[in-house]
Amino acid sequence: MSLWFVLAVNSITFGGLLFLLSAGFSLIFGLMRIPNLTHGSFFMLGAYFATSLIARGLDFWTAALVAGLGVALLGGIVERLILRRLAGAELAQVLVTLGLSFMVADVCLMVWTGDPIRIATPGALTGATSIFGLGFPTYRLAISVIAVAFAIGLWALLERTRLGAMIRAGVDDPAMARVVGIRVSRLFTIVFCLGAWLAGFAGVIGGPILSVYPGLDGEMLPLALVVVILGGSGSLLGSLVGSFVVGFLYNFGQAMLPELAYVVLFLPMLLVLVVRPQGLFGRQAV
């Protein structure tokens, strides 16, 4: 009984981290139709930046925000200089972003060496919190809270601001959005930076659980893909629901059917692709 409860709570906390990771991916894919395979690298890069910032004396949360900005800046450069020229050429985008992810991995190896680096849990959140007599890592619970806060913030941004309205218009019909005078190209840069920032920030937030090491990018990217395909691209609600679904599939799959853990994780993705290609909450076909 307690095993189930532990797994359930952990599914939610892991889902929270996945949401932070995949919300940016979903925004970028939804608006720009760019399957950004460097998203895992942004995640890893954020964590690496943070280790250097923390080593220079910054506290964890400031480091997380600043590291995110560093990644956002890089994302902006990538979008302006490279991806912009490849608009509409999906195969080229896939290849370019994949190539970039290899380059980022190599540069990280050079700068931060191959040794895994640990990020300490921020002071106030170390230790465990007791829920119904069972102990849970406080930091993980905090991640779910952060994720929900971000979900609300992003929702408000998309649904309640002018920028959000323009982004939604861009997602629904980029050509028409252009016609009515929305500068879609600038919108693209903003969204790409925002998505990159989210990924970098998520990398730092995940750091105390995952630590940082070469290969982290490749471990996280597929999870972001599954979330977005399940939830539907460009849909915030989809990312949120998808993240928690994947969190549950991941936790219960590995605990109950460890031999089939990946089947449990990816089979629903296959089914969704076949039956409902736009995802559970997607606005349009992928």
Partner 1 sequence: MKNGRPLTITRRTFLAGAALAVTMPAPAFAQQKPVKIGLLTVKTGPLAAGGIQMEQGTQCFLKDRSFTLAGRKVELIVADTGGNPAGTKTKTQELTERDQVDMIFGPLAAFELLAISDYAAQAKMPILSLAAAEDMTQRKPNPYFVRASGTSAQYMHPLADYAAKDLKFKRLITLADDFAFGHEQMGGFQRVFEDAGGRIVKKLWPPLTTPDYTPYLAQISGADAIVQGFAGSNPLKFMKQYKDQGLKLPVLGGAPAGDDALLKSFGDEAVGMISSNFYSNDVDTPSNKKLIERMVREYGNIPGTYSAGLYINGMVAEAALEKTGGKTDDREAFVKALRSVSLTDTPRGPFKFDHLGNVVGSFYIRRIERKSDKLVNTTIKTYKDVSQFWTYEEKWFLSQPVYSRDYPPLKS
Looking at the Cβ atoms of 83 and 228, the one nearer to partner 1 is: 228
Residue 92 touches partner 1, criterion: CB under 8 A: no
Residues facing residue 15 across a β-bridge: none
Binding residue (CB under 8 A) for partner 1 from 64, 223, 225, 226 = 223
Q: Which is nearer to partner 1, 188 or 213 (CB)?
A: 213
Which one of 55, 89, 95, 120 is in contact with partner 1 (CB under 8 A)?
120
Instruction: Give yes or no for a contact between 71 and 49, defined as CB atoms under 8 angstroms apart.
Output: yes
User: In angstroms, how far is CA 99 from the centroid of its own chain?
Assistant: 19
User: For residue 101, what is the enclosing H or E element?
Assistant: helix 90-112
Query: Of 160, 176, 260, 262, which one interacts with partner 1 (CB under 8 A)?
Result: 262
> Any residues with CB less than 8 A from the CB of 163 and at least 6 apart, and which?
157, 190
Given the complex with partner 1, which of 76 and 214 has the nearer CB atom? 214
CA-angle at 47, arms to 46 and 49, nearest 5°:
65
Does position 208 interact with partner 1 (CB under 8 A)? The reply is: yes
CA distances from 66 to 49, 62, 201 (A): 9, 6, 8
Report residue 53 as tokens. Answer: 């910032």
Structure-block tokens of residue 66? 């600043």
Under the criterion CB under 8 A, does residue 48 sit at the interface with partner 1?
Answer: no
Nearer to partner 1, 113 or 185 (CB): 113
For residues 138 to 157, the per-residue mask of contacts with partner 1, x marking binding by CB under 8 A and - elsewhere, is -xx-----------------
Asked if residue 61 binds partner 1 (CB under 8 A), the reply is: no
* Residues contacting 73, CB < 8 A, separation 6+: 193
Q: How far is the CB of 14 from partner 1 (least distance, A)?
A: 5
Write out the two tokens for 44: 């890893």
Does 98 interact with partner 1 (rule: CB under 8 A)? no
- Binding residues (CB under 8 A) for partner 1: these are 3, 6-7, 10, 14, 105-106, 109, 113-118, 120-121, 128, 135, 137, 139-140, 206, 208-211, 213-216, 218-220, 223, 250-255, 258, 261-262
